[in-house]
Homo-oligomer: A and B are copies of this chain.
Amino acid sequence: MIRIIIAEDQSMILGALSALLDLEDDLSVIGKANNGEQALKLVNELNPDIVLTDIEMPIMTGIELAQAIQKQKQKHSTKVMILTTFARGGYLKRAMDAGVKVNLLKDSPSDVLADSISKIFAGKTIVAPELVTEAWAETDPLSDKERKILKLAYEGKTTEEIAKVICLSPGTVRNYSSEAVSKLEAKNRIEAARIAWQKGWL
């Protein structure tokens, strides 16, 4: 019997996933968490065979969770598997297109889980964390100030107001905002803010 902990912030999915996986004969969901932090705690308490985690979660992301577990691996033998979609751009997609076998952990527990997952969700798969860190490396090009400025601009604040909030001159605020716009290849700061927002950078 493979003992599993699931981490996923949307409780609808969390509930559904655990209910469905529990139906499988050789799988048992022994813990559920809404973010990486909770999951980490559960891992240390329960020492499961596998942690199945989403990537985007508040407080502690799936990637951070994977790293934390990796760091203390002498304490337990838990493997981290990341639940993801093919649809994402970048490295992972290219790897998939080239027919690379994504499930790097070639042991039977992860295979069983992978099978179950693909049975349940078409188009979904689980992968080893090492892969995803590469794939997710579309890093935020924004500086700290740029990020803050976009955020405030997206709330409808004027340049003056933004300047006051972050203690810079209005001119400098415009310089940074202009920088951000060109980095994100947007037409104006609103579009830039939207792009950054969608990528989860704000």
Q: Mark A164-202, 1 if CB is under 8 A from B, else 0.
A: 000000000000000000000011101111110000000
Contacts of A120 in B (CB 8 A): 15-16, 19
Q: How many chain A residues have a CB neighbour from B under 8 Å? A: 35
CA gap between A85 and B188 in the complex, in Å: 30
Question: Considering only CB atoms, which chain B residue lies closest to A21 in the complex?
Answer: B16
Contact across chains for A153 and B106 when beta carbons are under 8 A apart: no
CA gap between A157 and B192 in the complex, in Å: 11
What are 21 A-B contacts with C-beta separation under 8 Å? Answer: A10-B13, A10-B85, A11-B85, A11-B109, A12-B107, A12-B110, A12-B121, A12-B124, A15-B20, A15-B121, A15-B122, A15-B124, A16-B17, A16-B110, A20-B20, A23-B23, A153-B190, A154-B190, A155-B190, A155-B191, A156-B195
Asked whether any CB of chain B lies closer than 8 Å to the CB of A89, the reply is no
- The answer to whether residues A15 and B110 also contact, given A10-B85, A85-B10, A190-B190 and a CB cut-off of 8 A, is yes
Asked whether any CB of chain B lies closer than 8 Å to the CB of A72, the reply is no
Q: Which residues of A contact B (CB under 8 A)?
A: 10-13, 15-17, 19-20, 23, 85, 106-107, 109-110, 120-124, 153-158, 186-188, 190-195
Instruction: Pick the contact of A193: B12, B156, B157, B188 (CB < 8 A).
Output: B156
Contact across chains for A190 and B156 when beta carbons are under 8 A apart: yes
CB distance from A189 to the nearest CB of B (A): 8
CB distance from A183 to the nearest CB of B (A): 15
Contact across chains for A156 and B106 when beta carbons are under 8 A apart: no
